């Protein structure tokens, strides 16, 4: 039950970060993973050099790892920015410049899930104007996702760690999903259910699963407190994932947690054996 019935992938932007980016896919494969996900790997370059894109693509394919999730440009992650699409001026312009680049990269690797992080409230900016900008940019992102046959993921963060982010609950994220689908007419926006963030918000996780499993296209996990591996905190993650499975969720579960003091390769002892995750 629980962990034995899941399709796990590893997030190479939070695990294996003790290694250079291009070495992480092979390390994930050596740990038994065939599927990986990434935040946008170049936080200072929404449009990186073609050689950088080619090198990462080669590293992923040579390792035999399938990219199953990719963030659009979102500024510094982890960091204070936490998204770009609702930020007036230069940052939202960078987000728009990144859209086709990220979508083309995802398509070249068969990745069909693109995550668009909303962004913080900005002092001096009208929240309504930020939300209007966000919706326009999310519609553009939905169109790019649709162009490559992908879904657009909308994620709720958590208020304690991202106090200026306006999307810090499952119901609010679902409102954005519905607004994007209505505005785009594409019906390809879906919920990214991050159980760590939702638990940090104090939400009733079984109730969230029961209410929103059908709108969920990707799941991420970390234990709470501490954002470590399952078993380092108090969340009943195996039970929650089994509840998701019974509710009809058949997608990937991203491991988006901080490794322990012994490094990333040693942080998977909780997984069923033999280790082979896809």
Is residue 271, in this structure, part of any structural domain at all?
A: no
CA atoms within 13 A on the CB side of 208: 25
Residue 159: per-residue pLDDT: 94
pTM: 0.96
- CATH number for the domain harbouring residue 129: 3.20.20.150
Q: Please state, in angstroms and rounded to a whole number, the distance separating the CA atoms of residues 211 and 23.
A: 39
Give the containing element (helix H, strand E) for 90: helix 90-108
Instruction: Kindly indicate the confidence band of residue 1, based on its pLDDT and cuts at 50, 70 and 90.
Output: very low
Residue 273: per-residue pLDDT: 67
**Mean residue pLDDT across the chain:** 95
Q: Please state, in angstroms and rounded to a whole number, the distance separating the CA atoms of residues 96 and 90.
A: 10
Is residue 97, in this structure, part of any structural domain at all?
A: yes
The tally of domains found in the chain comes to 1
Residue 31: per-residue pLDDT: 96
Is residue 272, in this structure, part of any structural domain at all?
A: no
Is residue 58, in this structure, part of any structural domain at all?
A: yes
Per-residue pLDDT of 129-177, as tens digits, reads 999 999 999 999 999 999 999 999 999 999 999 999 999 999 999 999 9
Instruction: Kindly indicate the confidence band of residue 274, based on its pLDDT and cuts at 50, 70 and 90.
Output: low
Instruction: Kindly indicate the confidence band of residue 58, based on its pLDDT and cuts at 50, 70 and 90.
Output: very high
Instruction: Identify whether the C-beta of residue 245 lies closer than 8 Å to the C-beta of residue 7.
Output: no
Is residue 98, in this structure, part of any structural domain at all?
A: yes
Instruction: Give me the active site residues, please.
Output: 155, 256
Per-residue pLDDT of 185-233, as tens digits, reads 999 999 999 999 999 999 999 999 999 999 999 999 999 999 999 999 9
Is residue 273, in this structure, part of any structural domain at all?
A: no
Q: Please state, in angstroms and rounded to a whole number, the distance separating the CA atoms of residues 54 and 243.
A: 39
Is residue 248, in this structure, part of any structural domain at all?
A: yes
Q: Peptide bond before 62: cis, by omega within 30 degrees of 0? A: no
Tokens 């900008």 map to which residue? 133
Q: Which domain holds residue 73?
A: 2-266
Is residue 139, in this structure, part of any structural domain at all?
A: yes
């Amino acid at each position: 039950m629980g962990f034995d019935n899941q399709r796990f992938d590893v997030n190479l932007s939070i695990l294996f970060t003790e290694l250079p980016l291009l070495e992480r896919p092979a390390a994930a494969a050596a740990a038994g993973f065939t599927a990986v996900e990434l935040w946008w790997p170049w936080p200072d370059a929404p449009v990186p050099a073609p050689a950088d894109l080619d090198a990462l693509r080669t590293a992923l394919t040579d390792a035999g790892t399938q990219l199953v999730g990719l963030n659009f440009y979102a500024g510094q992650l982890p960091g204070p920015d936490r998204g770009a699409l609702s930020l007036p001026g230069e940052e939202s312009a960078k987000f728009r410049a990144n859209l086709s680049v990220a979508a083309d990269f995802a398509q070249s690797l068969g990745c069909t899930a693109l995550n668009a992080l909303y962004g913080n409230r900005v002092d001096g900016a009208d929240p309504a104007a930020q939300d209007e900008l966000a919706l326009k940019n999310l519609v553009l992102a939905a169109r790019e996702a649709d162009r490559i046959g992908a879904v657009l993921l909308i994620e709720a963060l958590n208020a304690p760690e991202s106090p200026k982010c306006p999307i810090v609950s499952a119901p609010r994220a679902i409102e954005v999903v519905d607004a994007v689908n209505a505005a785009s007419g594409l019906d390809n926006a879906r919920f990214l259910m991050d159980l760590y963030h939702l638990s940090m918000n104090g939400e009733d996780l079984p109730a969230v699963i029961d209410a929103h499993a059908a709108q969920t296209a990707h799941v991420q996990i970390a234990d709470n407190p501490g954002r470590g591996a399952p078993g380092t905190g108090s969340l009943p993650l195996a039970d929650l994932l089994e509840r998701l499975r019974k509710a009809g969720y058949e997608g990937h579960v991203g491991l988006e947690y901080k490794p322990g003091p012994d490094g990333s390769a040693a942080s998977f002892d909780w997984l069923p054996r033999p280790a082979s995750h896809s």
